[in-house]
Homo-oligomer: A and B are copies of this chain.
Amino acid sequence: MNGLMMQQPLLISSQLEFAARFHQSVEIVTRTVEGPIVRTTWSGLAKRVRQLANALSASGIKRGDVVATLAWNTQRHLELYFAVSGLGAVLHTINPRLPPDQLTYIANDAGDVMLCFDTTFLPLAKHLASVQTPIKHFVALTDDAHLPKDFQGLRSYESLLVGQPETFTWPSFDENTASSLCYTSGTVGLPKGVLYSHRSTVLHSYAICMVDALAISGQDVTLPVVPMFHVNAWGVPYAAAMVGSKLVLPGPALDGVSLLDLITTEHVTSALGVPTVWLGLLAAAKTKQVKMSMLQKVTIGGSACPPSMITAFQEEHGARVLHAWGMTELSPLGTANVLLPKHASLSKEERLQVQLKQGRPIFGIDLRLVDDDGKVVPHDGKTSGHLEAKGGWVASAYFKSDDHSHHDGEWFATGDIATIDGDGYMQITDRSKDVIKSGGEWISSIDVEHAAMMHPAIAQAAAVGVPHPRWVERPLLVVVKHKDKEVSKEDLRAFLETKLVKWWLPDAIEFVDALPIGPTGKVLKRQLREKFKDYALP
């Protein structure tokens, strides 16, 4: 027996039209690529989105077609979010930081038929125009006055909209229809596409508006610094339409001073981004001696949040830090770290320790930990295991890929090693490929490195497992000393003995001049493991 409730597909076009109907005068402010700050409202945006939908239809874009963007966080990019998906076409947000050969690969893999790009990325667009791809239309996200001249067939975005009606009847279709496509920028192998659906996007939007998730709200002025080319800016554009949040879009100016200026002039109350941008912002605020008192909440994700950053936002600016964790394959939100009533009685330091965890799963995402044999291990905050996820906004497969190694049909293997405590707080302790497996127990390379980095003479540290006849693997600690500082292996080992349990202590320490660093700034542990694979442990 079915319920007797209205059947309405969960569609992205509904989010836009809801904003146009009920949040019409709420502003969307953009620092443009051309320079000036421009303003519209959700009502004004919706009119332009409908014009764009008419223009795209006139250009032959139809359901299932893939439209790519190479763009910053701007009003025009936001318009593309709603128009392309609203039509039933697929928005493919390309990360402009990818090397040209990978750009070529994903434009072909995705089957892009149109590319809309900010003029900042003209060289990348020219590259894509010079190689074999299915792209038929090139559109520069600007007006005719700013249109690059030496690009055959290039049209300006604004010229597309001219004369188009401000009304459009959005098609209704199955909520499982693909809506957007984002490629993971894996350090190994080719990028893999994650194909989101309208259903997954709308469910994820509800989830991130929950109090215990990202709490996206119409009561906030929201600044997504997290790029719209990266996992749909964590879903903020969709959620903001649903709740009618004022949006402040920073365009290409992601330096601390520019962000500080936007935050203070637009009275931003909620900002979201990765640790790197916040380092710049905090430095700018310190230099200019500005207290960001309007800022109530800073959401930090993308990589683990340093404790000093939490303290700086909370104590110097009075903003609550929300540590969150996600992945491209998770749309991205998996966990968010809000404190519970029981934490009110903790000391400041104890609360900080809780806040450093990646947080608790949001309903819609289920998490579990398994050992190497796939056996489930307990959520006791101590036992670590391979972190697996499932849920309505988790990828079931990669786009056009035969690689199902991350999927067992029910669970997605995140590639992380983590613990989960009794309250549901998940903490990532390692990447699966980096964990050191010693005598059936796992040693967190991250913890060993953090302990070494606490020594004043150590600038960089990497712990890797090297073969051991009895324990299978034992940790080798590879460290770089600060130029002007000195420490002996013996003294460093004595220092580590005060920080780590005995069997986690590295069996050997090697001093090197530099660690191998990859294009994304991460230490290439694979190279270290290769280099030290025949290392003779003492």
State the A residues within 8 Å of B (CB).
1-8, 10, 14-15, 18, 21-25, 63-64, 90, 174, 176-179, 194-200, 203, 205-207, 209-212, 215-221, 242-244, 246, 267, 269, 331, 338-341, 360-361, 363-364, 366, 379, 390-399, 412, 422-424
Contact = CB atoms under 8 A, between A and B. Distances in A.
Contacts of A390: 6, 8
A177 B243 contact: no
Contacts of A205: 363
Contacts of A2: 174, 176-178, 197
Contacts of A398: 4
B212 A218 contact: yes
A7 B199 CA distance: 10
Contacts of A392: 5-8, 10
B221 A211 contact: no
B90 A199 contact: no
A22 B209 contact: no
Given A2-B177, A219-B340, A244 B424 contact: yes
Contacts of A22: 360-361, 423-424
Given A210-B206, A341-B219, A394 B5 contact: yes
A203 B206 contact: yes
A131 to B, nearest CB: 24
Contact of A5 (B25, B242, B395): B395
A355 to B, nearest CB: 14
A464 to B, nearest CB: 33
A-B complex: 4 closest residue pairs judged by Cβ atoms? A3-B197, A22-B424, A206-B206, A211-B217
A170 to B, nearest CB: 13
Nearest to A396: B6
Given A18-B363, A391-B8, A3 B176 contact: yes
Contacts of A391: 6, 8
Nearest to A269: B341
Nearest to A393: B5
A518 B228 CA distance: 57
Given A15-B363, A219-B211, A196 B5 contact: yes
Given A6-B395, A210-B211, 8 more contacts: A2-B177, A5-B331, A18-B361, A206-B206, A210-B217, A211-B243, A219-B338, A269-B341
A210 B210 contact: yes
Contacts of A267: 341
16 contacts: A1-B64, A1-B90, A3-B195, A4-B197, A4-B395, A4-B396, A5-B176, A5-B331, A6-B391, A6-B395, A23-B424, A25-B423, A206-B206, A210-B210, A210-B243, A243-B363
A5 B178 CA distance: 9
A21 B424 contact: yes
Q: Which of A4, A176, A199, A220 has the most CB of B within 10 A?
A: A4
